[in-house]
Amino acid sequence: MSAVAVLAFAAAVQMGGEEGPSSSARGASAPVSAPASAVAVYEGREGALSVAAPWVAEADIAIDGRLSEAVWQKASLLTAFTQYDPVEGGAATQDTEVRMLVTDDAILFGIRARDSEPDGVRASLARRDQYGRSDDWVRIVLDTFGAQREAFVFQVNPLGIQGDGLWVEGGAGWGDPIDWSPDFLWSSEGRIDPEGYTVEMRIPLKSLRFPEASLQDWGLQVTRRIQRNGYESTWAPRTRAQANGLAQTGRIEGLRDLDPGVFLEVNPVLTGAKSGAWSSDSGRLAWTPSQQEVGLNVSYGLTSNLTLTGTVNPDFSQVEADAGQITVNERFALFLPERRPFFLEGTELFQMPRRLVYTRAIANPTGAAKVSGKVGGTNIAYLGAVDDLGGGAERPVFNILRVRRDVGASSTVGAVYTDRTLSGDDFNRVAGIDGRFIVGGRYTLEFLAAGSADGRQGAGADWGSLLSASLDRSGRSFSFGASFEDATEDFRARSGFIRRVGVTEAEANARYTFRGDRGALVESWGPSISVESLWDRAAFWSGAGALETQAELDMRVSLRGNLGVSVSLGRSTFNTPASDYTGLVVDGAQEVDGATPSAFTPRSGLFEGMLSLRFRSWIRSWERVRLSFSGGWSESPLFDRSTGAPVDLGARWNGEVGVTLIPTGSLQTELGLRHVTLRRPRDGSTYSSATIPRIQARYQFSRSIYGRVNAEYSSQDRGLLLDPATGRPIVFCEDGSCSARSASESHRLAIDALVGYEPSPGTVFFIGYARQANDPTAFGFQNVQTQSEGVFVKLSYRFRM
């Protein structure tokens, strides 16, 4: 389906809806809020969760974090928060008051967060969206459609630093299911004082999507977190016994004739870059001429809840490089998260039980367009793009369509279609249906059924299918989950990311949490267990045994003062069929020149054991240091890179250490170190080793001006795969010729620096530098050879009309 067809469908649906509001009608409406002399107070703990919309004709409020304007006395007052984490129920340990006003063009919040230990309030001039684990914060959640499925999230720390995103039920996130990728335009400011802190927020209606209805109600939740002890409280009481967090909110009632006005954003982008790459011919960097490019992003509000976005020659220069990943013993492709702003907007609509849409499959688009929003009870998203693979290759065209319909109180059903086409006979198309159902408040059932057609250069189309289903139970103490997935060998989703096909998988897990008293040394603890099995698909349906099984037991302990420790024990089994070893032979030429390779005899029933320890903590004496540690030992298979088959079983030692330093409110430094070593059991020699230290430092000169530096050293070595019986190398033979599995060694240093001015999302000025170099020996730092180097400048401005 083309973008034109999608727009035509949306327009047809809208013609049948209610008549749009007018600003004159809004001005004539009578205020619903209580008179100024009798401020309406809504005590969440007492069940007063229906807030009459506190509309005022004018709100001349300076967003300065002071709450000094008289108009705040007309605001609705939300009080009496209830503890949610780590111990549910009971009054919050600290008082929080939230004042709310609604005007013709915005919704405003004034927050007074009192604290009996004001010196313990944690706040920094942090990066947007990045302070959730270090600072105190207050979060406003607005379910503008009242559908209990998606909601806008606006979060502030005590200095008014912003965090924003979308709450998507069924999505993933740290803590609550929040996608922090979207950035909205809104205002906030905060101040710390001897009683705690105050924050003011102004959220324009243009930054929200909501129904075109003359009278509507919105879902509302307010959450406060105190970082020094990890306590969270909510205005509307919340429990883990319910699967849907948005079903546990209050409501803003009687919002009348909301009018976002004309929504048009134009974001021109100008970039300049100069780069050089190492030339072996000249023995130095060969610099290319300076390059300048102009790009353009445009967003237009077709309605108050449907947006058209387009981009030409998009620039992604502000995106940080992906953190290095350990690749010395991987069987499958690595997943990399999306970071590019254009593709991040509206990503929640493409979420499904499996990744049939993976926008990083679009590597270098020359142009793209997107339509996203909600029409009635139906979410619609369309993405079209033309990719440029470079090197004179053909340009694949992507068309992705997603439709999802609300069903019942908080369930959904949806459909997806993806098309990646190079030419008439070189294509990949996937169609699927999915659903998410909440049963009995605490049970979540999800399913996905998809089929693919994959054509390659006149060879005809291969047809494949994928089925998955899962059931989860939410509970305050006991929770469990189970899932099943079946993918045929010919299933291909080239617009998505499916790690493994031709297999059937089943998984089950259970968790129990014992909770102590608030403030006790042990506030919660409990075990969890998970079991997973994987079969060759044909073997599963014929009743044969599993190829791989894994069982893991975890014990978690949460201690007073936001400390946590967990220990894991696990065991895995690999029963790889002999057919997967086809072509692998033992090279006899290691000792006798010209000897004929002999067939490799695989070990059957490889077992893997695992023991790991994880620890996280804030050092309370400093109050500005966070430590995390994880490490463990396991018996891990050594995989052949081509077949993915386990050849031997080695001893694997791994560890990861993270230190976050916040010496001042403006400087934050993160130090990380990851290390993995695999040793051969035959003689204890090292098969592979990987060590990756990483340093990230960011200094915030003001809320808008910052500098950052990232440095990462990646040292990864891999030796030869050896036959466990003879110690000779294993080679791969096909069509009469054999090729050895060569060892690899890589020691790379990457540094990038950026100075940026970013007063609001989309309005930026960047100056950046990046360098990549090779080190001949691990951490030798002598004769380091620069491989590439470059500088870039970016200027963009986001015009909103």
Q: What is the pLDDT of residue 319?
A: 47
Q: What is the pLDDT of residue 85?
A: 86
Mean pLDDT for the chain overall: 84
Residues 6+ apart with CB under 8 A from 282: none
- At 306, the pLDDT band (50, 70, 90 cuts) reads confident
Number of neighbours of residue 280 by Cβ within 10 angstroms: 7
Q: What is the pLDDT of residue 444?
A: 94
For the ranges 484-493, 572-581, 660-669, the lowest mean pLDDT is seen at 572-581
Reduced to 3 states, what is the DSSP secondary structure of residue 776?
coil
Nearest to 464 by CA among 487, 496, 447: 487
- At 200, the pLDDT band (50, 70, 90 cuts) reads very high
Is residue 6's pLDDT more than 50? no
- At 13, the pLDDT band (50, 70, 90 cuts) reads very low
Residues 6+ apart with CB under 8 A from 168: 149, 150, 177, 178, 179, 348, 351
For the ranges 280-294, 571-585, 655-669, the lowest mean pLDDT is seen at 571-585
Burial class (CB in 10 A: 0-12, 13-18, 19+), 362: buried
Q: What is the pTM of this model?
A: 0.82
Is residue 458's pLDDT more than 50? yes
Distance CA 123, CA 516 (A): 29
For the ranges 432-441, 474-483, 552-561, the lowest mean pLDDT is seen at 552-561
Q: What is the pLDDT of residue 330?
A: 57
Q: What are phi and psi of 223, to 5 degrees?
A: -125, 140
Is residue 683's pLDDT more than 80? yes
- Alpha-carbon distances of 615 from 197, 525, 612, 659, 752, rounded to whole Å: 31, 14, 10, 12, 30
Is residue 325's pLDDT more than 60? no
Are 54 and 102 within 8 A, CB to CB? yes
Name the percent of the chain lying above pLDDT 90: 47
Residues 6+ apart with CB under 8 A from 143: 150, 151, 152, 167, 218, 219, 220, 221, 246, 249
Q: Give residue-wise pLDDT tens across range 142-188.
A: 999 999 999 999 999 999 999 999 999 987 655 789 988 888 999 99
Tokens in use for 665?
Answer: 């409110």
Reduced to 3 states, what is the DSSP secondary structure of residue 469?
strand
Q: What is the pLDDT of residue 436?
A: 95
Q: What is the pLDDT of residue 84?
A: 93
Is residue 9's pLDDT more than 50? no
Is residue 83's pLDDT more than 90? yes
Reduced to 3 states, what is the DSSP secondary structure of residue 247?
helix
Q: What is the pLDDT of residue 17?
A: 37
Is residue 2's pLDDT more than 50? no
- pLDDT (mean) for 592-612: 57
Q: What is the pLDDT of residue 333?
A: 60
* Cis ω for the linkage preceding 729 (within 30 of 0): no
- pLDDT (mean) for 563-571: 84
Name the percent of the chain lying above pLDDT 70: 86
Is residue 694's pLDDT more than 50? yes
